[in-house]
Amino acid sequence: MKVIFVIVSMAGGGAERVISILANRFIEKGIGVTILMTAGDTVAYQLDRKIRLVSAGTVSGGSMKKRLARIGRMRALFREERDSVIISFGPGTSFFAVAADLFLQHPFLISERNDPAACPHPFLRNLVYRRAGRVIFQTEEAKDCFPKTLRDRGRVIPNPIAEGLPKPWDGEREKTVVAVGRLEAQKNYELLLEAFARFRRKFPDYTLHIYGKGTLLEELKEKARGLEISDCVVWEGFRKDVLSEIRKAGIYVLSSDYEGISNALLEAMAIGLPVISTDCPIGGSRMCIRDRENGLLVPCGDPDALAEAMERLAADPEMAQRLGRRAAGLRETYSESAVAERWIEQVKEVWRG
């Protein structure tokens, strides 16, 4: 038995990181792995040499002719690897995978990665998902958004936390607020910038460091200029070693409007950072954070509440350290070995039919 992971690219991001962890674990268990990228061939993560990497295209989207050509290349791979389970991530990628597998009848798993309510074509998505023997959700709240036929074949598996992360920092923390994630609308960095501008009125010696790349970089820089905080906001770009860089940070913030389970948040907690997150759909942050026990939750879209939470942590370093120590306990709950075993179990069930 082998598996074929289908993803847009491996250039960096939450789903890509999960695939890198699962693929390496599957290889360790003697399961052959192919990663099929539907757009591009960039790989940002360390992968076992036994993993086969295949690109079905160079850019996402494109004309109908290019899309059909992409489906044709995917279908050729599926024909070649008949004794495989296909695991596709997200509705768009799954549409291409299901179309490419027409009449080939590979066993299918589909991983739903985000807030189902944000999908612009739910009817088409649900039709595609019916092809799957299993639909893997990150939270119960996400699973509950789907029709009963899909809920019945749904399973909830959280994201894994990679092993070998930096150890939690026990010393004095830097006066920095950090955030990690793509510079896209979903992450609502405008909220973070507005909250940081308020926060800095009381704590002017703090700086904000944002790690990630995306289409909104220039727009967000302009927002920072308008808030008169450009001199204390650092745009760090994408970093492979981001956890080592943020290990000593004073505060970690997730400001998203919606998320599955944020890998960046999980890893920040695992290395003992004091974290603040919006209590966003689809409940991933709420699964990880017990408010005021191992982190702080704030309402979505509320810059005053977010600024106040940052002020609480900055004003009380002992509380911040206490929350961080408790957060680090997630290392065991979401260990990559435990999560990978749950995935392997579902793959075997689908393979057996």
pLDDT tens digits for range 330-347: 998 899 999 999 999 999
Provide the greatest CA pair distance for the chain: 63
Q: Are 141 and 281 in contact (CB under 8 A)?
A: yes
In the block, residue with structure tokens 């065991």: 332
- Confidence (pLDDT) at 14: 86
Indicate the pairing of strand 32-37 with strand 176-180: unpaired
Cis preceding-peptide flag for 282 (omega within 30 of 0):
yes
197-219 b/e with 16+ CB inside 10 Å = b? bbbbeebeebbbbbbbbbebeee
Percentage of the chain exceeding pLDDT 70: 99
Structure tokens at 119: 């999908």
CATH topology of domain 176-333: Rossmann fold (3.40.50)
Rg of the chain over all Cα atoms, to the nearest angstrom: 21
**Residue 166 above 70 pLDDT?**
yes
- Confidence (pLDDT) at 322: 97
Phi, psi for 302 (deg, rounded to 5): -115, 95
Structure tokens at 53: 């990497």
Provide the mean pLDDT of the chain: 95
- Confidence (pLDDT) at 58: 60
pLDDT digits (tens, 9 = 90+) for 208-257: 999 999 999 999 999 999 999 999 999 999 998 999 999 999 999 999 99
Q: Is 1 exposed, middle or buried (0-12, 13-18, 19+ CB in 10 A)?
A: middle
- Confidence (pLDDT) at 63: 80
Q: Are 265 and 274 in contact (CB under 8 A)?
A: no
Confidence of residue 167 (pLDDT cuts 50, 70, 90): very high
Residue 33 forms beta bridges with which residues? 3
Predicted TM-score of the model (pTM): 0.84
Q: What CATH number does domain 2-160+335-352 carry, 3.40.50.720, 3.40.50.300, 3.20.20.140, 3.40.50.2000?
A: 3.40.50.2000
- Confidence (pLDDT) at 55: 94
Q: How far is residue 226's CA from residue 210's CA, in Å, rounded to a whole number? A: 17
Phi, psi for 210 (deg, rounded to 5): -115, 120
Mean pLDDT, residues 72-79: 97
Mean pLDDT, residues 30-46: 94
- Confidence (pLDDT) at 226: 99
Domain ranges across the chain = 2-160+335-352, 176-333
Structure tokens at 139: 């939270």
Q: Are 261 and 242 in contact (CB under 8 A)?
A: no
C-alpha distances in Å from residue 152, one per residue of 94, 118, 132, 352: 19, 22, 12, 18
Mean pLDDT, residues 144-170: 95
- Confidence (pLDDT) at 114: 83
- Confidence (pLDDT) at 266: 96
Lowest model confidence (mean pLDDT) among 147-151, 259-263, 311-315: 259-263
